[in-house]
Structure 1
Amino acid sequence: MNIECRNSCQNRVKKLEMEMRVMEDTEIATDITPSLLPLTFALHNNNLQTHCSSCFSLLPSSPIHITPLLYCSPPCSAAHTFLLRLHHPALSHSSDLRAALLLLSRHRPSATSSRIAGLLSNRHKLTRHHLSDEVSETIRTGTRALATAITDLRGELAPNDAVLDEAECALCAVLTNAVEVQDKEGRALGIAVYGPAFSWINHSCSPNACYRFILNPPPPSQESKLRISPSFIRSSPDSQIDSGVCSITNQFQKEEEEQGYGPRLIVRSIKRIKKGQEVTIAYTDLLQSKAMRQSDLWSKYRFICCCERCSVVPFTYVDHVLQEISVSGGDFACSSSNYNLIKDTAERRLTDSVDDAISEYLVAGDPESCCEKLEKIPMQGLLDELDNIEETSHYKFMLHPLHYLSLNAYTTLASAYKFRASDILSTNSEIDQNQLEAFDMSRTSAAYSLLLATATHHLFNSESSLIASLANFWTGAGESLLYLARSSEWIKFVKSSLVASSVAKVKCSKCSLMDKFRACMCNGKIKNDDFENVSNEFLDCISNDATQKVWSFLIIGCHFLRSINNPIDSGWLVSTRSSRTTVDPGALAMKKSEPCEEQTCNDNTRIQIFQLGVHCLAYGGLLAAICYGHHSHLASYVEQILDDEE
């Protein structure tokens, strides 16, 4: 990817050469490239026995096995001849090295620049001698291993300087331009490097485009045209890039017609883009704080982002709350001469606490301990003295409810409670007490899923590039609510066995959300104004007494959630912070969920949960169709669930 530093005057001309701009006015939810084939690719080691080494799709029950690789079909197995070369013993531990070797087998580095196949290798920044971090060490050891494989394949005795130079250039190009290829569930399968049509797209922390992977090529009738081009082509259509490849104009015209192998990629607009405007994507997680984004970009690509979101002074509202830590107990900012140092120390302590709790769930497999610790942190914060700094002994440090650590906590709690419910039922599902306990866990999981979606939507109102994350969160909230509404444990609370979906309708008479979702799933299009209108309708429709009653039912037994009166109303962002400071720390340990209140557990409550779940799911599906297209897995998955409910 192009990682030329935006605030460097000496690189400004080079950057302008490598900007990608749209050639026509482009609406939101528009494919701006056809499906692009990679220049090089490689599965991660742990997927070599489960996925096709050519297209990355999941292997059938009887894959084509050609030692040592596996393929899903005869067309993919035709790639075996050149893919086999990648599995040299020296490269067996690294997908980056295998991808670099494949890149060298197809393209040679330029003799007069640090480019290969028209792509920036960035080696002059990644390999500076004074740098001794993990990336630099990876390049040094990887270059030696790659050079060894090259000389073996060429039948030479030992790597010379020229081979080492080629190896370093190719490896740096892979590290700079590769993207993680993900399956439909979001699991990382391997890496791929794409040509200039994708890799020349710059980064922004407020991007106007995103991308998706296609493991099975779409029919030709569904292919989009190429709507972007390098900025310099308009002024010099026959321009050459010093890379040993054909003219860039010809390359862009024929790129979609090339035959090859590997997972395909499509770039899609998530905002309205005017003709001639630069196309940008995100190279990092946009829900991180500015400091974390900058650190991530520097460690991987060696540049400091100076996009509009990062450059504005003071911080944008989103970046302010993503890192805000409040201090109570006195006029701390005025009384302390080490304010920034102490606040940074508090954030590190809070980060370590959240990370340790999440690790107990993900690594140690202890979701109960994880839930107990994570629910203490947003309520209790840090009460103890920081690293023997005496002046902090009387202060409390609290995370903002929209701090990125808070969002991580909500995400993990939703998953951990769901896991606990499943684990309880799998142990002994015949005992009534177990069923009730599992139901309570599912209810709390749904509450955290809904909280995560509404919190992120609040940020989305100020930063629309968060749409991809929002699609996943609203979909997750809808799934959790529908799962709860379908639960057989309702019979334990009410005498009636009424099924909510037999009474509640999927289509809402008060908003056009379902119609817009169905229309978008038919043609993959929605206008920006229509999207804004349906978003407002969606929020208006779920901001009612029924949703308030659902929330009151979901949060029974959870101390932290009970401090939030209404997650859809942004007022909870203030009330939660003020109420948490009065909580008795001795009462913060998570208790077993209280019995469900009889008067709130009825068929009407169940129907309201169902209807809210349908709204959340349909809105998440609409967002997914905008980001990834109406044929994408997430959008199709939502459509299938709603079809089943109807």
Structure 2
Amino acid sequence: MGEMEMMMRGREEIEMGEDLTRPLPPLSFSLHHSLLLSHCSSCFSPLPSSPLPPIFPPRFPPSNSNPKILYCSSQCSFSDSPLHFSSAEHHLLCLLPSAAAADSSDLRAALRLLESNPATRRSSSVSRIAGLSTNLHKLANDDEEEVAARIRDGARAMAAARRMRDRDCSGEESEGEEEAMAAAALCAVLTNGVEVQVKSGRTLGVAVYGGGGFSWINHSCSPNACYRISLHSDLQTTSFLPDHETAAMRIVPCCNKETQCGCSYGPRIIVRSIKRIQKGEEVTVAYTDLLQPKSVRQSDLWSKYRFICCCSRCGSVPPTYMDRVLEEISVVNGNSSSSDSGFYRDKATQMLTQYIDDAISDYLSIGDAQSCCEKLDHVLTRGLPDEQLERNEGTSLPTYTYWLHPLHHLSLNAYTTLASAYKTCSNDMLALFSEANENLCVAFDMSRTSVAYSLLLAGATNHLFQFEPSLIASVANYWVSAGESLSTFARSSMWRELIPLSSLSSIIRHNCLKCSLGNKYETGSFHSQVQYEDFAHVSSKFLDCVTDYMQKVWHLLVHGCNHLRVFKDPLDFSWLVTAKYSSMWEICSHCSSNNIGSNSDIYENIPLCEAQGCTTQVRIHLFQLGVHCLLYGAYLSSICFGKHSYLTCHAQNILDTVEHD
């Protein structure tokens, strides 16, 4: 992640779903402080029951205190211990109080980077370290005091640790020079650091990768590549050839700046194509969440990296369809469907963000799932009235209500939370009232509402995916989540308790006469080279199958929920752009006038076995829909991250589980 003049280009024509690099070693890395005593500081693997301490060199005799870091094996301890001490990481952990040490991973990675590149100490310029831009002039002199203070205080702590390391030696640098180098290294980590996320998505630490391989790959909000992190244990099971360490890179830097080759151990990074890449075309990845609107992306990029994105998506005039709907809000005056702009739109965004963030925070912090569901369902269905507008004495001002577009990024956040919160409500109800049939019905309703929101989220993001193919990783995740929810719901014991139906054991899991997903799974061709034409064909057939199943089950899933019933098909959003219904306000007003229901019937229990005709066939359709979602999610994940990625394996494990139930 360097300056914008640095870039990587395709060495040759590359199809989607292909690795562009070999597993690249880090220049520097560090484990999060909270994991220092539970994970190996060398390979990031969980520690065994009898972990090993670092090997203390002669200059640093062991202290009586407990070791600051631990290793999983003698090999890891032997490999990493020298750098742990020579970089002054050990001394920094001794100097920092426990509260500050909890946020020291970037400082420790910077110390390691500085020690691994001694040429930096002899350089008169601190603009680059190991070929990486430090961004020092932008970050250290930043108008935001929090950023500048972090760099200033962090550099002082790093310099103090290095002086503590050298207390028995005569250092070559003055105190000012020491802090200047420390500040440059810290800025290099802040600018180029990558969160080491593995397996279930948990963040284990931070790593910096060399220019000419990864850190010169620039950002785009419409990227053609993504990346994954692999630990040493992961690499043992991948399909790389034995000589993968020396395998040719399929991307090349646009210049011949000198770079470093990195460590011989630590978490490795692999770049992979998610679109076709032409020979000579710039390779880009995303540094931020692509499902955020332009204003949020720009703010995030400036806050972290101090640059303004000028990619094709950000520079589009008028804004792309996706960026428009991600921030579209209707500001309704009384009974008028006209939308106001300017001040009211800005205020609407602020109020809606605060309302939704508060509801989600209450759920995540205090676990009040039911209250969260009520608040989010209310704002999605009825909008948010502005009760804070000041009224001059004797003046009657109109009432404003703010409505989110169903594809607004806050709506997507709400769907994600509602899928989780309704599931929590259902589980809580079953745990507390397992003997009561009435509560079992309520738990059943909450469970199916959770599934419906999971499907709505998958459908909404898949709709956006048609306009922005770079969303493939996010869409893969949402389809797998929807498939898992559907298969779990279809196999739930609640069906047997409430509605006497036959089992699902007779279902053939993968076979489908309409699409090739099942055959691809059975034959293992999920992971073969992907041609774009084949990808488009598979996606089209998948949508045909899912649309067919959706017509048979959606009415059951949305029964009793006023907001969900607005969506006749969670895959079809074309009706949102029709002239008849130009805003969510008009849609909900139309629904209310046609007696679709009130917000209160979200929690009203109606015997679905009678009202909706729940049959064994409906349950089978739910199950088969879930299998399709899992298969397609695994297919997309395999394109993004390969067949050994966590998400791909997770989807396959669910499919294997349901087969043997």
Per the TM alignment, residue 521 of structure 1 is displaced from its structure 2 partner at its CA by 5.8
Per the TM alignment, residue 192 of structure 1 is displaced from its structure 2 partner at its CA by 0.7
Per the TM alignment, residue 342 of structure 1 is displaced from its structure 2 partner at its CA by 1.9
* Counterpart selection for 1:164 from 179, 195, 199: 179
Q: Is 78-87 or 502-511 further displaced after alignment?
A: 78-87
Per the TM alignment, residue 517 of structure 1 is displaced from its structure 2 partner at its CA by 4.3
Q: Is 405-414 or 38-47 further displaced after alignment?
A: 38-47
- Name 1:370's counterpart in structure 2: 372
* Counterpart selection for 2:589 from 573, 581, 587: 581
For the structure 1 residues 589 and 161, does the alpha-carbon distance in structure 2 shift closer, same or farther, using more than 3 Å as the test?
farther
Q: Secondary structure at the match of 1:164?
A: helix
In the alignment, the residues of structure 1 paired with residue 95 and residue 559 of structure 2 have an alpha-carbon distance, to the nearest angstrom, of 57
Q: Is 259-268 or 371-380 further displaced after alignment?
A: 259-268
* Counterpart selection for 2:21 from 6, 9, 33: 33
In the alignment, the residues of structure 2 paired with residue 389 and residue 75 of structure 1 have an alpha-carbon distance, to the nearest angstrom, of 72
- Name 1:177's counterpart in structure 2: 192
For the structure 1 residues 518 and 462, does the alpha-carbon distance in structure 2 shift closer, same or farther, using more than 3 Å as the test?
farther
In the alignment, the residues of structure 2 paired with residue 588 and residue 121 of structure 1 have an alpha-carbon distance, to the nearest angstrom, of 54
Per the TM alignment, residue 161 of structure 1 is displaced from its structure 2 partner at its CA by 1.1
**Aligned-partner residue type, residue 168 of structure 1:** A
1:412-453 deviation line (CA, Å, top 9, x unaligned): 111111122222333353443443333222211111100000
- Name 2:9's counterpart in structure 1: 21
**Aligned-partner residue type, residue 127 of structure 1:** A
Per the TM alignment, residue 189 of structure 1 is displaced from its structure 2 partner at its CA by 1.4
For the structure 1 residues 47 and 424, does the alpha-carbon distance in structure 2 shift closer, same or farther, using more than 3 Å as the test?
farther
1:25-45 deviation line (CA, Å, top 9, x unaligned): 000000001111111111222
- Name 2:536's counterpart in structure 1: 532
For the structure 1 residues 466 and 345, does the alpha-carbon distance in structure 2 shift closer, same or farther, using more than 3 Å as the test?
same
The two structures, once aligned, show a CA RMSD in angstroms of 2.6
In the alignment, the residues of structure 1 paired with residue 415 and residue 157 of structure 2 have an alpha-carbon distance, to the nearest angstrom, of 42
Q: Find out whether 1:560 has 2:563 as its counterpart.
A: yes
1:332-378 deviation line (CA, Å, top 9, x unaligned): 99997xx3122111100000001000000111221111111111111
- Name 1:235's counterpart in structure 2: none
**Aligned-partner residue type, residue 589 of structure 2:** T
In the alignment, the residues of structure 2 paired with residue 37 and residue 211 of structure 1 have an alpha-carbon distance, to the nearest angstrom, of 13
Per the TM alignment, residue 330 of structure 1 is displaced from its structure 2 partner at its CA by 7.2
Per the TM alignment, residue 112 of structure 1 is displaced from its structure 2 partner at its CA by 3.0
Counterpart contact for 1:565–1:572, Cα < 8 Å: no
- Name 2:61's counterpart in structure 1: none
In the alignment, the residues of structure 1 paired with residue 632 and residue 199 of structure 2 have an alpha-carbon distance, to the nearest angstrom, of 19
In the alignment, the residues of structure 2 paired with residue 389 and residue 399 of structure 1 have an alpha-carbon distance, to the nearest angstrom, of 25
**Aligned-partner residue type, residue 377 of structure 2:** E
1:9-62 deviation line (CA, Å, top 9, x unaligned): xxxxxx0xx110010100000000111111111122222233221122233444
Counterpart contact for 1:28–1:527, Cα < 8 Å: yes
- How does 1:150-549 map onto structure 2 within 5 Å? 150-155=162-167, 160-196=175-211, 197-215=213-231, 216-219=233-236, 220-221=240-241, 223=244, 225-232=248-255, 239=256, 241=257, 247-248=258-259, 255=261, 260-329=264-333, 339-388=341-390, 393-496=398-501, 498-517=502-521, 523-544=527-548, 546-549=549-552
* Counterpart selection for 2:603 from 568, 572, 592: 592
Per the TM alignment, residue 589 of structure 1 is displaced from its structure 2 partner at its CA by 4.9
Per the TM alignment, residue 490 of structure 1 is displaced from its structure 2 partner at its CA by 0.6
In the alignment, the residues of structure 1 paired with residue 538 and residue 30 of structure 2 have an alpha-carbon distance, to the nearest angstrom, of 41
- Name 1:11's counterpart in structure 2: none
1:273-297 deviation line (CA, Å, top 9, x unaligned): 0010000000000000100000001
Q: Find out whether 1:75 has 2:75 as its counterpart.
A: yes
For the structure 1 residues 512 and 334, does the alpha-carbon distance in structure 2 shift closer, same or farther, using more than 3 Å as the test?
closer
- How does 1:142-153 map onto structure 2 within 5 Å? 142-153=154-165
TM-score relative to the length of structure 2:
0.87
Per the TM alignment, residue 146 of structure 1 is displaced from its structure 2 partner at its CA by 1.3
Q: Secondary structure at the match of 1:484?
A: helix
- Name 1:244's counterpart in structure 2: none
For the structure 1 residues 594 and 330, does the alpha-carbon distance in structure 2 shift closer, same or farther, using more than 3 Å as the test?
closer
Counterpart contact for 2:17–2:530, Cα < 8 Å: yes
1:148-198 deviation line (CA, Å, top 9, x unaligned): 111111227996111011011000000000011112111221111111111
In the alignment, the residues of structure 2 paired with residue 469 and residue 395 of structure 1 have an alpha-carbon distance, to the nearest angstrom, of 34
Q: Is 389-398 or 521-530 further displaced after alignment?
A: 389-398
Per the TM alignment, residue 217 of structure 1 is displaced from its structure 2 partner at its CA by 4.7
For the structure 1 residues 539 and 125, does the alpha-carbon distance in structure 2 shift closer, same or farther, using more than 3 Å as the test?
same
Q: Secondary structure at the match of 1:221?
A: coil
In the alignment, the residues of structure 2 paired with residue 595 and residue 135 of structure 1 have an alpha-carbon distance, to the nearest angstrom, of 55
Q: Secondary structure at the match of 1:207?
A: coil
Per the TM alignment, residue 503 of structure 1 is displaced from its structure 2 partner at its CA by 2.5
Counterpart contact for 1:520–1:630, Cα < 8 Å: no
**Aligned-partner residue type, residue 343 of structure 1:** R
**Aligned-partner residue type, residue 551 of structure 1:** W
Q: Is 585-594 or 633-642 further displaced after alignment?
A: 585-594
For the structure 1 residues 83 and 386, does the alpha-carbon distance in structure 2 shift closer, same or farther, using more than 3 Å as the test?
same
For the structure 1 residues 218 and 334, does the alpha-carbon distance in structure 2 shift closer, same or farther, using more than 3 Å as the test?
closer
TM-score relative to the length of structure 1:
0.89
Counterpart contact for 1:551–1:566, Cα < 8 Å: yes
Per the TM alignment, residue 513 of structure 1 is displaced from its structure 2 partner at its CA by 1.6
For the structure 1 residues 205 and 343, does the alpha-carbon distance in structure 2 shift closer, same or farther, using more than 3 Å as the test?
same
Q: Is 571-580 or 301-310 further displaced after alignment?
A: 571-580
Q: Is 133-142 or 269-278 further displaced after alignment?
A: 133-142
For the structure 1 residues 72 and 427, does the alpha-carbon distance in structure 2 shift closer, same or farther, using more than 3 Å as the test?
farther
Per the TM alignment, residue 392 of structure 1 is displaced from its structure 2 partner at its CA by 6.8
Q: Is 549-558 or 465-474 further displaced after alignment?
A: 549-558
Per the TM alignment, residue 607 of structure 1 is displaced from its structure 2 partner at its CA by 0.2
Counterpart contact for 2:155–2:179, Cα < 8 Å: yes
Q: Is 369-378 or 558-567 further displaced after alignment?
A: 558-567
1:306-329 deviation line (CA, Å, top 9, x unaligned): 000000100000000001011333
For the structure 1 residues 320 and 71, does the alpha-carbon distance in structure 2 shift closer, same or farther, using more than 3 Å as the test?
same
In the alignment, the residues of structure 2 paired with residue 128 and residue 50 of structure 1 have an alpha-carbon distance, to the nearest angstrom, of 37
Per the TM alignment, residue 623 of structure 1 is displaced from its structure 2 partner at its CA by 0.6
- Structure 2: give runs of 5+ residues left out of the alignment: 55-66
Q: Is 189-198 or 223-232 further displaced after alignment?
A: 223-232
In the alignment, the residues of structure 1 paired with residue 333 and residue 174 of structure 2 have an alpha-carbon distance, to the nearest angstrom, of 65
The total of aligned residue pairs comes to: 610
* Counterpart selection for 1:107 from 103, 117, 122: 117
Counterpart contact for 1:379–1:581, Cα < 8 Å: no
Counterpart contact for 2:527–2:642, Cα < 8 Å: no
In the alignment, the residues of structure 2 paired with residue 619 and residue 141 of structure 1 have an alpha-carbon distance, to the nearest angstrom, of 48
* Counterpart selection for 1:603 from 616, 619, 643: 616
For the structure 1 residues 503 and 568, does the alpha-carbon distance in structure 2 shift closer, same or farther, using more than 3 Å as the test?
same
* Counterpart selection for 1:550 from 548, 553, 557: 553
For the structure 1 residues 334 and 531, does the alpha-carbon distance in structure 2 shift closer, same or farther, using more than 3 Å as the test?
closer
Counterpart contact for 1:345–1:386, Cα < 8 Å: no
Q: Is 222-231 or 198-207 further displaced after alignment?
A: 222-231
Counterpart contact for 1:550–1:609, Cα < 8 Å: yes
1:507-550 deviation line (CA, Å, top 9, x unaligned): 21111122334566664421111111100110011112x42231
- Name 2:64's counterpart in structure 1: none
1:230-287 deviation line (CA, Å, top 9, x unaligned): 112xxxxxx4x3xxxxx45xx6xxx4xx652211111100000001000000000000
Per the TM alignment, residue 584 of structure 1 is displaced from its structure 2 partner at its CA by 6.8
